[in-house]
């Protein structure tokens, strides 16, 4: 009996070295390399970043439909200075709204909710331009006011930049017209000078012809005088 018990203990005992770390390095079958992921926001400066839930108005069903919950940003391009509104869904980072905040745009508080506001925009979130009516709801009244103030501030600044650009175009146009008028005046003056020079040359030619005629006449008279003397 004791021998059988000893044999069972030996069979159940783990083999020596099964749990020991051999220290061997196993190379991975597939090597994964880091890939740079572009978000399209690299050349833009964030002006505002808040958490919110976005809705769009469904005209067919005449009701609000949830577009996504995530972050809303105002992004200003470092080169052009244009500002766009971007809403990405949390975790998936799917774009829920993507449109420019341009001159003439406005935002209003949603009726019956101080945490929500609405605005119209031509949106490009689905890869094509669509006229949308958006509603966004924030976690607090303070965040909603921050969003509305920044929205109106950006729209006003874009309007001023556009007016300034139109003013510069008008000034450049006026300067160009002045240059053209000045060039036309210079051409007219040059034309008058050329006419005067032409008239002067014609007068000189006439004087030269007259002088040549007198010389020829004098020459004839001299010959006649010499002939008379010889006679």
Q: Which segment of 82-86, 113-117, 173-177 scores lowest on mean pLDDT?
A: 173-177
Residue 105 falls within a domain, yes or no? Answer: yes
Indicate the pLDDT class of residue 18, thresholds 50, 70 and 90: low
Residue 63 falls within a domain, yes or no? Answer: yes
> Cα(64)–Cα(34) distance, rounded to whole angstroms?
41
> Cα(140)–Cα(131) distance, rounded to whole angstroms?
28
Residue 146 falls within a domain, yes or no? Answer: yes
Residue 150: give the domain boundaries: 44-161
- Residue 197: what pLDDT? 58
What domain count does the chain have? Answer: 1
Residue 111 falls within a domain, yes or no? Answer: yes
- Residue position matching structure tokens 């650009």: 165
Residue 25 falls within a domain, yes or no? Answer: no
Residue 108 falls within a domain, yes or no? Answer: yes
Residue 7 falls within a domain, yes or no? Answer: no
In this prediction, residues 62-78 reach a mean pLDDT of 97
Residue 74 burial by Cβ neighbours in a 10 Å radius (0-12, 13-18, 19+): buried
Q: Which segment of 133-137, 176-180, 206-210 scores lowest on mean pLDDT?
A: 206-210
Q: Which residue has the higher pLDDT, 215 or 45?
A: 45
SS3 134: strand
Which of the listed ranges 4-8, 56-60, 200-204 does the model predict with the highest average pLDDT? Answer: 56-60
For residue range 118-172, list pLDDT tens digits in order: 999 999 999 999 999 999 999 999 999 999 999 999 999 988 877 776 655 565 6
- Residue 41: what pLDDT? 92
Q: Which residue has the higher pLDDT, 91 or 4?
A: 91
> Cα(92)–Cα(47) distance, rounded to whole angstroms?
22
> Per the structure block, which two tokens stand in for 191?
């034309």
- Residue 225: what pLDDT? 38
Q: Which segment of 19-28, 205-214, 220-229 scores lowest on mean pLDDT?
A: 220-229
> Cα(72)–Cα(90) distance, rounded to whole angstroms?
11
- Residue 26: what pLDDT? 74
In this prediction, residues 30-55 reach a mean pLDDT of 89
Q: Which residue has the higher pLDDT, 36 or 121?
A: 121
- Residue 173: what pLDDT? 58
pTM score, two decimals? 0.60
Indicate the pLDDT class of residue 227, thresholds 50, 70 and 90: very low
Residue 15 falls within a domain, yes or no? Answer: no
**Per-residue pLDDT at 32 exceeds 80:** no
Q: Which residue has the higher pLDDT, 128 or 21?
A: 128
Identify which of 98, 164, 163 has the alpha carbon closest to the alpha carbon of residue 134: 98
CATH number of the domain encompassing residue 56 = 2.30.29.30
């Amino acid at each position: 009996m004791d021998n059988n018990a000893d044999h069972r203990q030996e069979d159940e005992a783990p083999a020596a070295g099964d749990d020991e770390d051999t220290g061997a390095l196993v190379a991975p079958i597939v090597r994964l390399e880091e890939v740079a992921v572009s978000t399209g926001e690299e050349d833009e400066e964030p002006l505002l970043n808040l958490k919110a839930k976005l809705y769009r108005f469904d005209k067919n069903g005449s009701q609000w439909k949830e577009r996504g919950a995530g972050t809303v940003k105002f992004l200003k391009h470092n080169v052009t200075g244009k500002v766009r509104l971007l809403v990405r869904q949390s975790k998936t980072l799917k774009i829920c709204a993507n449109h420019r905040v341009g001159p003439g745009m406005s935002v209003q508080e949603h009726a019956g909710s101080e945490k929500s506001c609405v605005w119209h925009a031509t949106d490009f979130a689905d890869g094509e331009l669509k006229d949308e009516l958006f509603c966004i709801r924030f976690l607090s009244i303070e965040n909603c006011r921050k969003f509305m103030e920044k929205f109106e501030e950006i729209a006003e600044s874009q309007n001023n930049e556009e007016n300034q650009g139109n003013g510069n175009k008008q000034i450049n146009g006026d300067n160009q017209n002045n240059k053209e008028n000045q060039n036309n005046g210079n051409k007219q003056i040059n034309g008058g000078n050329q006419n005067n020079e032409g008239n002067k040359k014609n007068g000189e030619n006439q004087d030269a012809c007259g002088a040549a005629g007198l010389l020829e006449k004098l020459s004839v008279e001299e010959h006649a005088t010499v002939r008379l003397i010889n006679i």
